[in-house]
């Protein structure tokens, strides 16, 4: 077998192994029921800010912690501890995607969050429309 064939086979094998490894470790979208069923596993949870609960952000105590409640798309509620400063548009967001895991205390510990803010896009449409 030629040396170039061996190198090509090795490169293909490494690429396949990298792909399988990334799929094995990747998180998945879920609701809170699935996240509570597997505490410690990372999930992307889609939900809405629970406006009946307060948003707590005290930068003088901990500038990297924001606490609030969410309700997932099936209606289950949960308290969230977000490991970052309070996002500016959190109160105006329509939906949030939390990336994190359920902790032993029953709260969702999010390391990151994505916001969907319809007001921002609606204002742009009104200007351009």
pLDDT in tens, 59-110: 999 999 999 999 998 989 999 999 999 988 888 888 899 999 999 899 999 9
pLDDT at position 9 over 60: yes
pLDDT at residue 11, as a whole number = 92
**Structure tokens that stand for 108 in this block:** 């969702």
* Domain layout of the chain by residue ranges: 28-128
| Paired strand residues for 37 | none
CATH architecture of residue range(s) 28-128: Beta Barrel (2.40)
- Residue 56 · residue 68 · CB < 8 Å: yes
Taking the whole predicted model, whether its pTM rises above 0.75 is answered as: no
Among all chains, which residue has been given the structure tokens 């994190």?
Answer: 100
pLDDT at residue 127, as a whole number = 53
CA dihedral 122, 127, 128, 129 (to 10 degrees): 80
Average pLDDT value for residue range 10-28: 74
């Amino acid at each position: 077998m030629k040396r170039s064939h061996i190198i090509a086979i090795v490169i293909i094998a490494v690429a396949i192994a990298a792909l399988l490894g990334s799929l094995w470790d990747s998180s998945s979208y879920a609701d809170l029921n699935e996240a509570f069923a597997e505490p410690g596993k990372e999930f992307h949870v889609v939900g809405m800010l629970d406006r009946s609960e307060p948003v707590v952000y005290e930068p003088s105590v901990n500038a990297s912690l924001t606490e609030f409640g969410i309700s997932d798309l099936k209606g289950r509620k949960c308290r969230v501890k977000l490991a970052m400063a309070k996002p500016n548009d959190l109160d105006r967001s329509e939906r949030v995607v939390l990336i994190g895991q359920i902790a032993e205390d029953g709260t969702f510990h999010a390391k990151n969050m994505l916001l969907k803010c319809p007001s921002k896009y609606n204002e742009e449409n009104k200007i351009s429309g």
